[in-house]
Amino acid sequence: MFIYLGFDDTDIPDADYGTGKLARWFENELSNGYQLWAVVRQQLLVHENIPYTSHNSASCVIIDAPDHSCMGQVIEKAVGHVERFALRGSDPGVCVACEGDPSLSRLIAFGRQCTHSIVSQRDALRAASKVHLSAHGGTSDGIIGATAAVGLTAYGYCGRFIEFGGLRKFPEMVRVSDLERANILVVSMDRDCRVPGPEDIVYTKGWLRPRLWGGRAALCAAPIGDGVWESLGERRKKNRLKQDV
């Protein structure tokens, strides 16, 4: 069973780490029987009337747990984690929900709304009224992104993986078969829809970040030569915030 932990607004400008790293560090909080399945970055609307630190993104940790009986413990650990690592001057929020919860439909609708519309804390509280949602300082605006992160990740067709099965350990040039053994599906973005072969090579440009498509990790790639593909997307050259996502 998956448990979704949404984190947002735990950082400040010019910090040494951001919400993405804080979310990835949560793996150190897990007890035996719980496994970090992935961490997904979700992009929300960028608008002049929306305050944000860097790119208005939020993070969702996906935990593979035996059952929902551990929810109280996971929530306690998530809150403690944010209170320990959120930077002074930030506006942290935490949202926690589990797979199969009837409230996920409301969270999904709210998350999708956050990608194209300005929403309020009241909207977030309404969407997350049946799950855990808490603010931990500042303006409390982090509850918006935390709720959206859970909804979009549960939706299964938004976001990019910033942690998944050792994705940061892959070389710059990697075989399609090696990616598929790691449960990363290589998806062709070729105009003629050619299918990457098992021995084809994917050039990741040193930044392997699959997308969340259909509830699984999918790497978009386009052909650049005979048996060679290039993954789409790359690290931003400049960031207002020092974060490795």
CATH of the domain at 9: 3.30.70.2200
Which of 161, 189, 220 is where one domain is finished? 161
132 and 79 belong to one structural domain: yes
If asked whether residues 48 and 17 sit together in one domain, one would say yes
What percentage of the chain carries pLDDT values higher than 90?
78
User: Domain containing 99: what range?
Assistant: 2-161
Cα distance between residue 156 and residue 240, in whole Å? 28
Is 132 contained in some domain?
yes
Rounded average pLDDT over 49-54: 71
- Overall average pLDDT of the 81-85 stretch: 95
Question: If pLDDT is split at 50, 70 and 90, which confidence band does 52 have?
Answer: low
**Mean of pLDDT values over 171-183:** 97
Q: Say how many domains are in the chain.
A: 2
Q: Are residues 75 and 190 in the same domain?
A: no
- Residue 217 placed within a domain: yes
Question: Is 15 in the same domain as 121?
Answer: yes
Domain assignment present for 176: yes
Q: Are residues 196 and 148 in the same domain?
A: no
CA distances from 172 to 163, 179, 195, 196, 219 (A): 17, 12, 21, 17, 14
Q: Is residue 47 part of a domain?
A: yes
Which residue has tokens 């932990």?
A: 5
Last residue of a domain, one of 143, 161, 179: 161
